[in-house]
Amino acid sequence: MQGQIVWRALALAALALVAAPGLARAGSREEVRLGKINRFVVIYQENHSFDNLYGGWEGVDGLAGADAAHTTQVDQFGNPFPCLPQNDVNIAPACPPNEPFLIEQFIPPSARTCPNGVKDPTGNPGGCTRDLVHRFYQEQYQLNGGAQNRYTTGSDAVGLTQGVYDTRNLPIYRYLHAAGHPRYAIADRLFQAAFGGSFLNHQWLIAAATPTWPGGPADQHSIVDANGMPTSYPLYTAIGPTLDRPLTSTCPPVKPGLLCGDYAVNTIQPPYQPHGSGAQLPPQTHATIGDRLSAAGLDWAWYSGGWSNANGDVNGPGWTNGSSACTDPDTAAGAVWPNCPNRFFQYHHQPFNYFANYAPQTAARAAHLRDEEEFLATARGSSKSCGLKPVSFVKPIGLENEHPGYASEHQGSDHLVELLRAVNESACRKHTMVIVTYDEFGGEWDHVPPPGQGTTTPGPHDLHGPGTRIPALVIAPGLRGKFVVDDASHDTTSVLGTIERRFDLAPLTGRDAAVRDLATVFTAAPVGSRGG
């Protein structure tokens, strides 16, 4: 553990030296406009790559600009597939050409495939797909050093990785193209901070670091093969013994350039209630953005859908259970009152619940870990003056966060519009920056190589990431047009960097010290002419 602390300190010192390019020049438009923002709302959605969701947005580096070298998928031996193999029952008979294809062609929004992406006449409509594997080592194999051509081979969902949505039919697209829409920017070079899944990228959103379990049990460490893969899939056969676990492989790595040691990179349960079954990560003690804000006297909250029910905050905002029993019919099986989590509540989406500073019964937990209903009520009640905190993180519950498998993309996008309307129709809009982004790629292909994967994309990088490009949307006053595209290179920690530089907070690690902040949206050029 001491070695890891030293490593983090050295990384912070080294990368802080190159942080200057990420800072707005004194007196620049970026600095002036960012200085007029006094509130930030960060809405953290789930599991989509940029091309999968925003690839059809006009003006962006999307599907229209994707070259064949970065779209054609190859097998384990480097041979292009003649067509995209499929194991999804809705798509398999077709075997589409080896290129991106529209998901709605096979699974329209009206399809009764929710949850789990399986045809079921008694299921719910919404056009859900299955969940796709999205784990730490697998994504590095899929990226293939920036070739972007092994998403299909490295996935349990094979060719579904190339599926994309009709961007212009999404509720969020229609909202931002309607009369009176707010000024907005699409950041089309924002990458998930770390390789892999939701657990890890939530940690990077609040701490710019990968959690550790010093001396973690041997059976919790992964074992990877010579290609860096920890398991076999329908189109990939592992070379020798493998094991896919929450922790990285032991050191030294079997393949140069792979992270190893006591790092928790795949889903693992928090140390405190609410939590699910399985191994629990010991309480973490390194600094978070919440700690920085509190030390500076700035109020903040992590607003999570379903939190009051899950945390046992009886009669708190969003509470839907009784005074002595879990009476909500959607409560998870086995719940014991007062902890009555919804069956789609995701424990590993609650990053502060992994930290000792926010343990149960602490004042910090009560003050800062709140229910999403409280955020909505505050925003909607801000008609004359803004009641939102300086920093609000908003995490919708499973059914409303767009996560493939258990959430409908279109219904999740509807909920996103609801959140944006609540802020935009309030007095808060005058001085608030709303940042919408996604925790990670959800196992879905994107054509733009992340920093560190090849040489085409600049930006800080290390053995933790960044990974696949993800959708990012910024709504703020002071943009140069009704719609701009920001092509500066960012990752998830750019959210931290923006907050830190606006409020003069010290960076948490080397990554958020070096990355460019999102004030770049204020110098992005308008794209064409937009209605409204």
Percent of the chain with pLDDT strictly greater than 70: 94
Q: Is residue 158 part of a domain?
A: no
Q: Is residue 471 part of a domain?
A: yes
Structural contact between residues 248 and 210, judged by C-beta atoms closer than 8 angstroms = no
Q: Is residue 325 part of a domain?
A: no
Q: Is residue 130 part of a domain?
A: no
pLDDT tens for residues 171-211? 999 999 999 999 999 999 999 999 999 999 999 999 999 99
CA distances from 156 to 32, 234, 402, 445 (A): 48, 6, 20, 13
pLDDT tens for residues 441-461? 999 999 999 999 999 999 999
Residue 85 has pLDDT above 90, yes or no: yes
Q: Give the CATH number for residue 190.
A: 3.40.720
pLDDT at 523: 97
Q: Is residue 149 part of a domain?
A: no
221 contacts: CB under 8 Å, gap ≥ 6:
243, 245, 247, 248, 249, 250
Q: Is residue 30 part of a domain?
A: yes
* Segment holding 337, helix H or strand E: none
Residue 406 has pLDDT above 70, yes or no: yes
Q: Is residue 467 part of a domain?
A: yes
pLDDT at 15: 43
Structural contact between residues 466 and 451, judged by C-beta atoms closer than 8 angstroms = yes
Residue 21 has pLDDT above 60, yes or no: no
pLDDT confidence bin for 279, thresholds 50/70/90? very high
Q: How far apart are CA 369 and CA 392, in angstroms?
A: 10
Residue 17 has pLDDT above 50, yes or no: no
CA distances from 69 to 65, 82, 146, 449 (A): 11, 15, 10, 12
| Amino acid type, 36 | K
How many domains does the chain fold into?
A: 1
Neighbours of 453 (CB within 10 A): 23
Q: Is residue 54 part of a domain?
A: yes
Domain that holds residue 483: 2-107+165-209+284-305+345-523
